[in-house]
């Protein structure tokens, strides 16, 4: 694999190998965001990765493994896990690729209006990718749909906007529950 780091870079003393690769899409607690913006180690990592070919795929994956990061998760994610809390994404090399009604760009489905049915029913917090320039209808319809769901929640306190069972079975949620239990 091609070395993504530029030649003649010195690793800051606050950082150590190995480096990890993962998703750019993350959910962070307020405490984690404060840690990232106020501590030297994440800033050192940001500066070190700046100018490399895919810094976004390393930045949060690295920080998320550090014990001092609030909400850290020190384990490798199960490579068989295809559902993540943050984003609904259809890859061209997976069986669900047949669901994509849009086009594939760099191996990822770009959702169009025909994908609204599964975007609306997916339990994820975000859909990846929607190109506003080519299909404004997707963003408009999703905004309308979310407004309706929000109004239903306000009118009926029993109505749940999220599928809690989906989130409860995710590895990082299980780890967080165990970590909080041990405190």
In tens, the pLDDT along 48-77 reads: 888 787 888 888 888 988 999 998 887 776
Mean pLDDT, residues 107-118: 91
pLDDT, residue 126, reads: 84
Does 98 have pLDDT greater than 90?
yes
Does 138 have pLDDT greater than 80?
yes
Check: pTM over 0.75? Answer yes or no. Answer: no
In terms of pLDDT, which residue wins out, 46 or 149? 46
| CB under 8 A, 24+ apart: contacts of 117-126 | 118/88, 119/88, 120/145, 122/88, 123/162, 123/163, 123/166, 123/167, 124/83, 124/84, 124/85, 124/86, 124/87, 124/88, 125/27, 125/85, 125/86, 125/87, 126/25, 126/86, 126/87, 126/88
């Amino acid at each position: 694999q091609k070395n993504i780091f530029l030649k003649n870079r010195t690793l800051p003393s606050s950082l150590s190998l190995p480096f990890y690769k993962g998703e750019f899409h993350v959910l962070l607690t307020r405490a984690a965001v404060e840690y990232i913006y106020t501590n030297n180690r994440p800033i050192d990592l940001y500066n070190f990765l700046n100018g490399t070919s895919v810094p976004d795929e390393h930045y949060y994956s690295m920080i998320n493994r550090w014990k001092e990061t609030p909400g850290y998760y020190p384990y490798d994610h199960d490579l068989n896990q295809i559902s993540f809390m943050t984003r609904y994404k259809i890859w061209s090399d997976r069986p669900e690729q047949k669901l994509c009604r849009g086009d594939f760009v760099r191996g990822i489905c770009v959702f169009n209006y025909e994908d609204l049915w599964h975007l609306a029913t997916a339990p994820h917090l975000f859909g990846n990718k929607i190109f506003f320039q080519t299909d404004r209808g997707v963003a408009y319809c999703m905004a309308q749909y979310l407004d309706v769901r929000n109004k239903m929640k306000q009118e009926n306190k029993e109505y749940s906007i999220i599928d809690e069972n989906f989130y409860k079975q995710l590895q990082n949620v299980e780890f967080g529950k165990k970590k909080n239990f041990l405190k």
